[in-house]
């Protein structure tokens, strides 16, 4: 008979995305003896699909007024940037900053120009209109006649953030077999991915596993809170034979609604090729399209918005994502992060990647109110190293073979 290794902690965290790792770091910083459990790989959920933009709420003010979403995000870029520069609450100096700014651009259409005008007025402390010489390279073209705004919104390589958060705390991170989870009162039995049995004794447990929270809540016998999924279908494009994709871009194209017409970020695949990753309204509408139809729509958008861009020979892919968040009566989507407390179980969703620091603040406040800290010493077994996720565009399954006749 296998005897489980007993481990005593103040707080057990389940979920190894950026929000879970940020929370673990802040807990340990505050003196809580805490361990994080992850069932797949660190960053394997919504994190690796994130575009990495640390929103300051600008895109939510495109109607000309500040919204709850825009205000909840207002100071997030400065907090993340401070961490990257080594003088913030956590150390992200080892992460990769893809771009110090994100951009809004408008076409020559009236609705887009009006949206751009109101965004610049309402958010004038957060955006700066650029002249043509200061534009990203792909827009320094004689045929570009729109408007361009620089936003104080950094863009991070999200998996480098995962590494920066996890590496200093890897002895506090355990990769587990999810089928082995067996909760009982304030204990949780679990096996590692290598078959070793552990019995965790905890005061509080934080479920912060994104879409995985639904199954975890059921496992712990909790009927509340309810979770909802909002799907997206994102498009990826990389240069192939005849398509030398040489420009990096991090920008929203303004449309007539709150959602950008298209949002593009640029990344490198494992071979060093530039990959354009496209979301915004394109991805919202994509859930009602086949992969071929969506790729056709992406081509059409790029041909309309950046007609001088040579797309012949480009490779295309589609990524399906479920955004997971709390479900509340009377609301279609939450404006900020969510926290629900049920005895010693705390369930949390960041809602937006950028809000991870604010979510950690609120979780610490909940724990301080509950007087959770009790464990003077934390002994952790010498378990195996954590496993890290890769970006989806490094997987061949991401890329589609689609001919023009299929669209």
Task: Name the β-bridge partners of 8.
Answer: 201
Q: Does domain 5-47+160-228+326-369 have CATH number 3.40.50.720?
A: no
Question: What is residue 167's DSSP assignment?
Answer: G
Instruction: Tally Cβ neighbours within 10 Å of residue 292.
Output: 17
Give the closest residue to 124 by CA, choosing from 147, 97, 160, 151.
151
At residue 84, what are phi and psi to the nearest 5 degrees?
-65, -35
Q: Block means of pLDDT (10 residues each) for the chain, length 407 residues?
A: 85 98 96 96 97 79 52 83 97 97 80 53 62 85 86 95 97 96 94 95 96 97 94 92 77 79 94 94 95 96 92 92 90 85 96 95 90 71 94 92 46
Distances (CA, A) of 54 to 22, 67, 267, 290, 353: 15, 17, 16, 30, 7
- Tell me, what's the pLDDT at 281? 93
CB 126 within 8 A of CB 73: no
Gap between the Cα atoms of 145 and 147, Å rounded? 7
Gap between the Cα atoms of 94 and 98, Å rounded? 13
- Tell me, what's the pLDDT at 284? 94
Give the closest residue to 160 by CA, choosing from 41, 48, 293.
48
Task: Name the β-bridge partners of 103.
Answer: 150, 251
**Torsion on CA atoms 201, 206, 209, 212, rounded to nearest 10:** 70
At residue 121, what are phi and psi to the nearest 5 degrees?
-75, -50
**Torsion on CA atoms 387, 390, 396, 400, rounded to nearest 10:** 140
Q: Residues 390, 93, 73, 53: is their CA dihedral positive or negative?
A: negative
Gap between the Cα atoms of 257 and 335, Å rounded? 17
- Tell me, what's the pLDDT at 296? 96
- Tell me, what's the pLDDT at 216? 98
Residues 6+ positions from 285 with CB-CB distance below 8 Å: 297
- Tell me, what's the pLDDT at 407? 43
Question: What is residue 21's DSSP assignment?
Answer: H
pTM over 0.85: yes
- Tell me, what's the pLDDT at 403? 42
Task: Name the β-bridge partners of 204.
Answer: 11
All structural domains of the chain with their residue ranges: 5-47+160-228+326-369
| The two structure tokens encoding residue 82 | 């401070």
């Amino acid at each position: 008979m296998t005897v489980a290794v007993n481990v005593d902690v103040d707080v057990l965290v389940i979920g190894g995305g950026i929000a879970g790792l940020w929370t673990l770091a802040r807990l340990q910083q505050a003196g809580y003896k805490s361990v994080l459990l992850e069932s797949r790989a660190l960053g394997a959920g919504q994190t690796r699909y994130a575009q990495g933009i640390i929103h300051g709420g600008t895109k939510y003010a495109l109607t000309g007024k500040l919204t709850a979403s825009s205000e909840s995000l207002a100071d997030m870029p400065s907090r993340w940037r401070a961490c990257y520069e080594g003088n913030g609450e956590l150390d992200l100096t080892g992460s990769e900053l893809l771009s110090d700014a994100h951009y809004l651009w408008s076409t020559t259409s009236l609705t887009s120009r009006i949206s751009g005008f109101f965004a610049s007025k309402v958010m004038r402390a957060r955006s700066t209109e650029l002249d043509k010489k200061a534009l990203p390279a792909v827009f320094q073209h004689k045929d570009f006649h729109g408007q361009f705004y620089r936003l104080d919104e950094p863009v991070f390589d999200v998996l480098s953030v995962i590494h920066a958060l996890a590496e200093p705390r890897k002895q506090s991170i355990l990769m587990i077999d999810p089928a082995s989870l067996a909760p009982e009162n304030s204990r949780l039995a679990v096996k590692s991915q290598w078959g070793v049995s552990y019995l965790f004794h905890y005061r509080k447990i934080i479920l912060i596993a994104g879409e995985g929270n639904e199954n975890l809540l059921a496992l712990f016998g909790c009927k509340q809170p309810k979770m909802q999924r909002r799907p997206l279908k994102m498009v990826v494009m990389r240069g192939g034979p005849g398509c030398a994709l040489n420009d990096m871009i991090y920008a929203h194209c303004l449309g007539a609604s709150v959602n950008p017409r298209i949002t593009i970020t640029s990344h490198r695949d494992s071979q060093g090729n530039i990959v354009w990753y496209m979301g915004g309204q394109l991805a919202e509408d994509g859930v009602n399209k086949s992969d071929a139809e969506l790729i056709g729509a992406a081509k059409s958008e790029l041909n309309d918005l950046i007609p001088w861009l040579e797309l012949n020979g480009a490779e295309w892919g589609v990524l399906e994502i479920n955004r997971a968040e709390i479900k509340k009566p009377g609301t279609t989507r939450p404006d900020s992060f969510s926290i629900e407390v049920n005895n010693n179980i705390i369930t949390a969703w960041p809602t937006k990647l950028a809000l991870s620091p604010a979510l950690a603040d609120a979780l610490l406040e909940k724990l301080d109110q509950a007087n959770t800290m009790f464990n003077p010493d934390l002994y952790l077994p010498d378990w195996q190293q954590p496993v890290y996720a890769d970006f989806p565009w490094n997987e061949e399954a991401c890329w589609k073979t689609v001919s023009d006749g299929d669209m």
